[in-house]
A = this chain, B = another copy of it.
Amino acid sequence: MASDLPAGPEFGPQADVVAEDRPGRGVSRRGLLGAAGAGAAGLGVGVAAGFGLGSHPDVAAGSAVAAGSATYPFYGEHQAGIVTPAQDRLHFAAFDMVSDDRDDLISLLQDWTAAAARMTQGRDAGPFGATSGPYEAPPDDTGEAIGLPPAGLTITFGFGPSLFRQAGRDRFGIAERQPAALRRLPHFPGDNLDADRSDGDLCIQACSDDPQVAVHAIRNLARIAFGRAAIRWSQLGFGRTSSTSTSQATARNLFGFKDGTMNLKAEEPALVDQHVWTAPPAVAKEAWLAGGSYLVARRISMTIEIWDRQPLSEQERVIGRNKAVGAPLSGGGEFSQPDFTLTGANDQPLVDPEAHVRLVHPSQNGGVQMLRRGYNFVDGSNGLGRLDAGLFFLAYVCDPRTHYIPVQTKIARNDAMSEYLQHTGSALFAIPPGVSQGGYLGQALFA
């Protein structure tokens, strides 16, 4: 009988023994992947089919959970979760420091690095795990991901402008190293920003094909931050809208249109180098960001009820593509380049002068491109009988001053689509480069 007893006060595992060594007692995530694999597979969601630049999925061998078990390396030249094939689900969180102590910031980044390195590999957040630590201590993992494969989990970290200077204060001794491009985004026409959905000292983007895995990651990183940083805002996304790999089909946004056809793809490394990774720093104070990027996050509410009452002709005019397959209205297939000079009946251009596809096209924006990684969201309803729905826009760019601000300024003024949008959240973060084994996120910033 005793051998069947679960861990209890008399039978709890010892503090100095980790889960992997005690298969009969505590259960690690790895341990359960085999045991409960067939059942757990029903919770996993698809497999990221593509191979990202520098982020080659390493599907666990010999596991019963082939589906959903893509695993991406945490360590590397760049952070994962940028050119990694966009996973299906998102949990994004912005944090504010609640401590002004530089050592607290450094220790937080060290602790986050260790936990992210573990969780992205399908392990518990801490070395003991959800069920195998000291029985009279809080577990170092919260447990809701026990038995779930990582499902392509990536965790990507960023630093907001306020981390460097908050109301002129240099809390952490890093103000001198704030990049010139890392400033609060300007107010754009039509912005209706909610301060509770904007900005933040730090950000974490957790992407996975299983939402429970993404939520587990953010929740555990928030738990680890306790006393040092607290969540400022968080956003779930249920459907990716931009593919970042040619291996992925283009998904649809809540206007019902394919979104991201022209997105930068991992398979275009020269373009990614040019448009996503920060240029070699012109000044030494920004050297810590070499190999990094900038992340623009915008919560874009869509007035879908009004959109839904527009004729198909108007919807297609606004987007500049047809709804069925995403082909530009100038003809061809989804991936055909639009011809903005072609005219149809009455000598009107087939692609309207105000069409979204025209205004955002690189040819109309000095050649700049973004790597977008947005997600559809529905956050309940708005109290007026409508869904609070839209697109959580995420874009990685080498410099927001050249690659985002001019484009958004133009489309906010002229894009026919803007009539159906309201930007309700906004943030900009510097994305430090990847981490080497033994190092920690943003380490060069503190050197």
A144 at the B interface (CB under 8 A): yes
Total number of A residues with any Cβ neighbor in B under 8 Å: 112
| Tally of this chain's copies | 2
Instruction: Give the residues in chain B near A143, CB-CB below 8 Å.
Output: 252, 255-257, 323
Q: A38 — which chain B residues lie within 8 A by C-beta?
A: 249
Known contacts A249-B147, A381-B234; is-contact A304 B219 (Cβ 8 Å): yes
Beyond A27-B325, A304-B219, is A233–B380 a contact (Cβ under 8 Å)? yes
Confirm or deny: A179 has a beta carbon within 8 angstroms of a beta carbon on chain B. no
Q: Quick one: CB contact mask for A79-111 with B, threshold 8 Å, 1 for yes?
A: 000000000110101001010000000000000
The yes or no answer to A198 lying at the interface (CB within 8 A) is no
A136–B9 CB distance below 8 A? no
> With A256-B130, A309-B138, A387-B222 known to touch, is A7 a contact of B233 (CB < 8 Å)?
no
- Of A114-122, A287-295, A311-319, A426-434, the segment with at least 4 beta carbons within 8 Å of chain B is A311-319
Segment of A46-54, A268-276, A394-402 engaged in the interface with chain B: A46-54
Mostly, the A contact residues are loop
Which stretch, A208-216, A366-374, A404-412, touches the partner chain B?
Answer: A208-216
Q: Which residues of B contact A26 (CB under 8 A)?
A: 324
Interfacial residues, chain A to chain B (CB-CB below 8 A): 1, 4-10, 12, 25-27, 36, 38-49, 67-68, 88-89, 91, 93, 96, 98, 130-139, 141-147, 196, 209, 211-212, 215, 218-219, 222-223, 226, 230-236, 238-239, 248-249, 251-257, 304-305, 308-313, 315-316, 321-325, 327-329, 331-333, 344-345, 350, 376, 378-381, 383, 385-387, 389
A-B contact list, 30 entries, CB within 8 Å:
A1-B331, A5-B331, A12-B313, A25-B324, A39-B248, A41-B46, A43-B251, A45-B45, A45-B46, A46-B68, A67-B67, A134-B311, A135-B312, A135-B313, A137-B311, A139-B308, A139-B315, A143-B255, A143-B323, A145-B252, A146-B324, A212-B239, A212-B376, A215-B239, A215-B389, A222-B305, A234-B381, A235-B380, A236-B238, A379-B380
